[in-house]
A and B are shown apart, each in its own frame.
Chain A
Amino acid sequence: MKSVTEQNFVTLLQEHQNIVHKVCRIYTYDSDAHKDLFQEITIQLWKAFPKFRGDSKFSTWMYRVGLNTAITLYRKSLRQVQSQRIESVEFKLSYEVYDDTKDEQLKLIYGAVRKLNDIDKGIVFLYLENKNYKEISETLGISEVNARVRMNRIKTKLKTQLNS
């Protein structure tokens, strides 16, 4: 029997699972790693669910737990190596993500983002997701001014990389 809490959670998760995929998209480079991180984020979301009080939107809360897992909590497991993946859930990642895009310039930009450090990737991710500086600063735990400064530096970093 699944509890009501579990049912509620899975319903919400199914509705917003794209957020988890997108976090994986920024932090992983192949479909196995994507699946592994996807699994860890869903586990962490479920574990943290009792602490979700509903004073923020479920999706907002998901961004936070998702990034926390990708940047801080996640450790590449031995699952992939030990081929225990059989017990895991298989899903197809048949989109163009992993051979990326045909557009040469976009490919270069994705490549440059990939080279950023974990924190900067998180900022770029939130930026891509249309989050404002207030939300970015709250998610990271830094001041809004610092978030802006950081964003400007990332832009410069990307430009330098792309022009070199």
Chain B
Amino acid sequence: MASNMLTYKDLTPAKPLDKGTLNKMAWLSMMLQASFNYERMQAAGWLWGILPGLEKIHTNKEDLSASMTHNLEFFNTHPFLVTFVMGIVLSLEQQKADINTIRSVRVAAMGPLGGIGDALFWFTLVPITAGITANMAIEHSLVGPVLYFIITFGVQMALRFFLLYWSYSLGSSAIGILTKNAREFTHAASMLGVFVVGALTCNYGATTLGMMIPNGTKINDAGEVVENFIDIQGLLNGILPAMIPLAFTMLCYFLIKKRNWTPTKCILLFIFVGIIGCAFGIWSGDYKALVGVPWHA
């Protein structure tokens, strides 16, 4: 099966990608979240964005299939900075690096960009731009929205193009070290990748219990008698923070690897677990449980 290939069949490095293809991919990067979903997030949009490059690089069908398959795995990064990951991954694909190396570099690069992009864009550029232009709009001036669009769109597109060209040449120039000690590089890159997936499990894992079990009354700092609750999630955090995300990830790993479950089957399981859990007020969130239970207000 193509997904289990570790190296490409054709190991001759492909021709460097031409400017037209790179520009096309910079524009396509805008569609990163076109098919966003909770399982693999931006995966299909990411693959769409790099397909023009992949089709040029992998002329044999089996390699193209292997490349498309591993690029369809979980992917999530900042939509405006994604071209940085595209450039590096494409330079590795072009050099026909080990598939595990490409996968690991992709995973290691996508994570940190999320935080950087949010800080740069949503916490800095957009609030400042909105502060200037929103009052123009409120005073009935069309300059407000137009200026808002020009500034934010201009910065965004400049970043997309700059990052793609910069990281593509960066990746191509770093390739020498890689090919000399390919086996060692693959092992080291895999370590980095696994380390980051471990971090993602904790950092993106958001499943928590909402169960608060009433437990008599207590006297608070102000000396008033208030109701006391046992917070089950708090108890779990005392054992291991993000314990549920870790346990669920391990469960999926076990089901997929050992029991040959398909991803679709795992998703159905989670839809069932999520809805039944909320019917009984187990998961945290702002909802009213179907069944009246003492631990869910």
A and B from one complex: no
> Which residues from chain B sit less than 8 Å from chain A, CB to CB?
none
> Which residues from chain A sit less than 8 Å from chain B, CB to CB?
none
